[in-house]
């Protein structure tokens, strides 16, 4: 569903993405991992057209996304830090996005709104909300339009364990429907049982892209934490 070819992006002298090529397919749940500043968020922003690559191209559903916008109706995005217009209430934000994005006949997925019990807080203005509640609103918006592709940037950061579990359950449920999910997270333990593939970025370069099953076999570890630790060790040993 997503194919990136030689995607290159520089911010000034800093190379944020160094000819990244990868492909992600339907039904996969992919963890995008890497140290801080490795280009994860930049890559996601490239996917969303928020950052425009210097060279290379990205296709979503076989369409080059350069300077197009229609493809974004297949994407639900939950940003790392959710920022909303301060003066609007939760209800207004959800209504606004719905109003702007809604197409006649489209079915909406309000499961998360119910699960997080957001309706109870509908009247609150965004500036009064905690970071966690904002993340909840953000998550609800990402799932609202039943997109085929979900892009979740640090989804569990700031969420309480209950909410975190609700979100994970929702991701699993959507995965079962055959959707493509891209998740970045620092907390690898959160990603156990969720992800089927790992993409590892470092200093803007793609280090590897393999299935979790494969990696587990290679390293002999079950938990993602351990898997990654092993890989790191091997890499340093190679050097």
Partner 1 sequence: MKKIIKYSLLDILRNRVILAYTALLAVVSISLFMMEDNPAKAVMSLMNISLLIVPLVSSIFCTIYLYNSAEFIELLVAQPIRRSRLLWGVYLGMITALLIALIMGIGLPLLILQPTVSGLSLFLTSAALTIVFSSLATLSAVLTRDKAKGIGVSLLLWFYFTFIYDGIVLLVLFQMADYPLETTMIGMSMLNPIDLGRIGMLLQLDISAMMGLTGALFQDFFGNGFGAILVILVMIGWMTIPVLFAIRRFKNKDL
State the residues that interact with partner 1 by CB under 8 A. 11, 45, 48-52, 67, 69-73, 75, 77, 79, 83-88, 93, 96-97, 99-101
Residue whose tokens read 């425009």: 52
**Nearer Cβ to partner 1, position 27 or 85?**
85
Q: Considering beta carbons, is residue 112 or 231 the nearer one to partner 1?
A: 112
Closest approach of partner 1 to the CB of residue 191, in Å: 22
- Pairing mode, strands 149-153 and 180-184: parallel
- Shortest separation between residue 149's beta carbon and partner 1, angstroms: 12
- The nearer residue to partner 1, 83 or 177, going by C-beta atoms, is 83
Provide the minimum distance between the beta carbon of 44 and partner 1 in the complex, in angstroms, as a whole number: 10
**What is the DSSP code (8-state) at residue 104?**
T
- Shortest distance (Å) from residue 12 CB to partner 1: 11
Residue 99 CB, shortest distance to partner 1, in Å, is: 6
CA atoms within 13 A on the CB side of 177: 13
Kindly tell me which of 67 and 177 has the beta carbon lying closer to partner 1: 67
| Min dist. Cβ of residue 115 to partner 1 (A) | 22
Nearer to partner 1, 98 or 226 (CB): 98
3-state secondary structure 115-150: HHCHHHHCCCEHHHCCHHHHHHHHHHHHHHCCCCEE
Two tokens, residue 140: 């609800």
Q: Minimal CA–CA distance to 95: which of 115, 117, 129, 123?
A: 123
**Which is nearer to partner 1, 1 or 51 (by Cβ)?**
51
Half-sphere exposure of 44 (CA within 13 A, CB side): 27
Q: How many helices (H) and strands (E) does the chain have?
A: 7, 10
- Nearest one of 91, 93, 71, 92 to 82, comparing CA atoms: 93
CA 24 – CA 64 distance, rounded (Å): 15
């Amino acid at each position: 569903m997503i194919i990136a070819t030689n995607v290159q992006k520089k911010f000034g002298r800093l190379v944020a993405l160094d000819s990244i090529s990868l492909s992600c397919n339907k039904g996969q749940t992919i963890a995008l991992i890497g140290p801080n500043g490795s280009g994860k968020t930049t890559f996601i922003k490239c996917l969303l057209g928020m950052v425009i690559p210097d060279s290379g191209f990205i296709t979503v559903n076989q369409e080059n996304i350069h300077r197009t916008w229609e493809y974004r109706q297949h994407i639900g995005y939950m940003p790392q830090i959710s920022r909303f217009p301060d003066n609007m209430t939760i209800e207004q934000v959800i209504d606004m996005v719905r109003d702007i994005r809604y197409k006649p006949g489209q079915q909406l997925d309000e499961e998360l709104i119910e699960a997080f019990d957001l309706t109870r807080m509908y009247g609150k203005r965004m500036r009064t909300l905690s970071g966690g509640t904002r993340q909840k609103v953000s998550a609800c918006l990402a799932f609202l339009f039943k997109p085929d592709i979900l892009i979740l940037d640090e989804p569990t950061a700031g969420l309480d364990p209950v909410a975190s579990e609700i979100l994970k359950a929702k991701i699993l449920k959507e995965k079962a429907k055959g959707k493509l999910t891209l998740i970045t997270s620092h907390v690898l333990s959160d990603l156990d049982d969720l992800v089927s593939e790992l993409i590892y970025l470092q200093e803007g370069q793609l280090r590897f892209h393999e299935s979790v099953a494969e990696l587990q076999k290679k390293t002999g570890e079950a938990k993602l934490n351990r898997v990654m630790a092993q890989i790191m060790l091997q890499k340093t040993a190679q050097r």
